[in-house]
Amino acid sequence: MIRQILAIALLTTSVQVAKAQSMVGSTCAPSASGLTKCEFDEVVAKIDRIYRPQFATLGGHLWLRANWKSNDLNAHANEYGPYWMVSFTGGLARQPRMTRDAFAMVACHEVGHHLGGAPQMMLLPLSNEGEADYFTTLKCSREFFADEDNAGALRGTLVDRYAADECKKSFATSPERLICLRSVMAAKRLVEVLQVINKDATKISFRTPETKPASIFSGFSHPKAQCRLDTFLNGARCGVPVKTALSATSYEAGSCDRKDEPPNEGSRPRCWFRP
């Protein structure tokens, strides 16, 4: 199936593949605009199933706060002793262009604050915003989509040619390529949804990475939209095994960054990261 997708993608920058009959990987009826409560609950439940055991292994108790009724456009993470909180609101999930896949990236990002490792925020034992983005496609989306029909999911997606080419170059097998492609397309949709919320009209593209280097580590603030897209793409095309854990004390562990080596296509983008 990946060959079919990539063959079509090579003809044009992006292509509308035949619309899927149903939301692949979901038992919920898809919504024409934003998530339904069923989809919202389903994403939260899957994150709980994947990560509760991992949190426990590290001595933390996953505290999921999912408030569908809230109209707040928010998601966040924090630690209260052994209780590691991840919080989501229905207001964000109901945004008109939000999809199940894009909302899964929101959930992955918040988990990434706890499991993403270095670099961390100042004065908090949480990975900073750029690192949470990197974790999203480096680790989380690969686990989230691992048991789903990714070829089927991509039939309803506007597939980007450049992203498809990068996933093909980065991985040898069709399942890995499909998860990579599905992840980056979901991440791009999320960035676009957040741009609408933030009234950010900046054009973003996988082809035009941010070239301005970071002056300091990103802390409490999110990197700019293009830099975030670059981070999601680099995480997705890093070939380090998903089960190789990241570290709070070393940015090399579990990632494609290596000390005293120039950045590569799977490294954290230098638009926010300074080794």
Tell me the per-residue pLDDT of 166-186, one tens digit each, with 9 for 90 and over: 999 999 999 999 999 999 999
The H or E element spanning position 236 is helix 225-237
Tell me the per-residue pLDDT of 127-139, one tens digit each, with 9 for 90 and over: 999 999 999 999 9
pLDDT at 124: 87
Read off the pLDDT band of 1 (50, 70, 90).
Answer: very low
Tell me the per-residue pLDDT of 71-126, one tens digit each, with 9 for 90 and over: 999 999 999 999 999 999 999 999 999 999 999 999 999 999 999 999 999 888 99
Q: Which residues of 226-254 are buried (b: 16+ CB within 10 A; e: fewer)?
A: bbbbbbbbbbbbbebeeeeebebeebeeb
Cα gap 13→68, rounded to integer Å: 36
Structural domain boundaries of the chain?
Answer: 2-12+29-237
Read off the pTM: 0.90
Q: What is the dihedral of CA 195, 200, 201, 205, to 10 degrees?
A: -50
Read off the pLDDT band of 260 (50, 70, 90).
Answer: confident
Question: Among 157, 158, 205, 154, which residue's Cα sits nearest to residue 177?
Answer: 154
